[in-house]
Amino acid sequence: MKKTVFTGSAVALVTPMKEDGSIDYDMLERLVDFQIQNGSEGIVACATTGESPVLSVEEHCKIVRCIVKKAGGRVPVIASSGSNDTKSAVELSKAVEDAGADALLTITPYYNKTSQEGFVRHFFYIADRVKLPMILYNIPSRTGCNIRPETYKRLAEHPNIVGVKEANGNLAENARTAALCGDDLALYSGEDSLTLPILSLGGKGVVSTSANVIPKEMDEICRNYFQGNFS
């Protein structure tokens, strides 16, 4: 059984910017405190909600360092580090590892539309070269490719691949993934509206965009489920 990076609601944190397009680090620190004080069990830095497509590598890493410092070990900081280019994904993963991240969130290689074997080779190549636990991110509506349950079973064999943020919207596939992988791959909802169904399949929580606005409520959904409070 692998160690779970977080259980409950982790926020896919926005990246606040000033009018000139520079990062507002003072506001970023305030957002980190707000999230932790209102129940978020983890902070995902520089995901797509956090403007990753428009950030330089330098900005990406500086944001991670800022969040890690402000979080101060109160919750894990998961840094987005994926790319459609395997080499670039490795380089960014190592950079955010050096910046102090606790775990990685690594998206499927978008646009290129690789095969299922390609997923295995891509993610294993990255996982072999980093020390941090990796949470995969599957969102076919944005990437044009979908990881199948049988492929997750193969991916879960790697000790560094510990979870998946699943946003394919296919609960039948999600159920099969949960059945095939068990505790070897933590299942997280990547869609806020499917948080409860994913939890009912044995999921560990949600990576939430809504938590930017309603962190307490997203935490309560997960907490009440785990406590068996359905009233």
- Positions annotated as catalytic residues are 137, 165
> Contact, 221 vs 192, CB < 8 A?
no
List the helix and strand counts (H, then E) for the chain.
9, 8
What whole-number distance in Å separates Cα of residue 192 and Cα of residue 85? 28
Q: Are strands 161-166 and 186-189 parallel, antiparallel or unpaired?
A: parallel
Distance CA 109, CA 120 (A): 11
Dist. CA 33–CA 39, nearest whole Å: 10
Cite the DSSP H helix spans in the chain: 25-37, 57-71, 86-98, 116-127, 140-143, 149-155, 171-181, 195-200, 215-226
Tokens of 196: 């409860």
Task: Express the helix, strand and coil content of the chain in percent, nearest 5 each.
Answer: 45, 15, 35
The count of other CB atoms within 10 Å of the CB of residue 128 is 10
What does the alpha-carbon distance between residue 160 and residue 135 come to, in Å, rounded to a whole number? 9
